[in-house]
Amino acid sequence: MSHYQLVLASTSKYRRQLLEKITIPFLSVAPKCDETPLTDESPQALVQRLAQQKAQSCPQQQPSLVIGSDQVCVVQGQIVGKPHTKEHATQQLMAQSGNKITFYTGLAVYNNVTGTTQCIVDQFHVHFRQLALRQIERYIEMEQPFDCAGSFKSEGLGIALFKRLEGDDPNALVGLPLIKLIDLLEAEGMTVL
């Protein structure tokens, strides 16, 4: 174990739950970051930039490794955000029915002692079943995924929407690729086991 405090630059309950899996104590701090995409910014560049900005926006007094993460859902070449309403969730799931969508997750670890940041972009593909409107409406009623990009919770009943998943780490789909995070932490001298 290193002498660093681990900090998660996020208030997401989903990311906190994922990070708890590795059993290293951590602080959760709200990042200060404008998440507006830049003109002609690709999804990959967007999540990388925002992950870095989030990690670097949380100054700490003691030696810290600060984790920043950002994720976008891309459907037919367009970034899809959180639906916030039943109507938008229905529209998103109808557009995803029978299609392959991609999640890009930017992950950054900022070392406040060295001033260096490691950053990667992970991608995860979800292949949706062909869904009837009644199935979508029932799913939304049961799970109410209004705070989730793409309008589903893969860690819950959302799994019933999928035909196939394609990626290295299922945690990436929820918003924090733990396998790659462990690699980045180990590169900074913080071991999990």
Task: Please tell me which residue in 40, 70, 147, 169 is annotated as part of the active site.
Answer: 70
Tokens of 185: 């932490």
Task: DSSP letter for 146, please.
Answer: T
Closest CA to 119 of 36, 189, 40, 181: 181
Buried/exposed 117-143: b ≥16 CB within 10 Å, e otherwise: bbbbbbbbebebeebeeeebeebbeeb
Roughly what angle, to the nearest 10 degrees, separates helices 86-96 and 133-143?
130
DSSP 70-81: EEEEEETTEEE-
Do 42 and 82 touch, CB atoms closer than 8 A? no
183 is catalytic: no
* Interstrand relation of 100-111 and 78-80 (parallel, antiparallel or unpaired): unpaired
Angstrom distances, CA of residue 68 to CA of 78, 83, 126: 23, 23, 23
Catalytic positions: 70
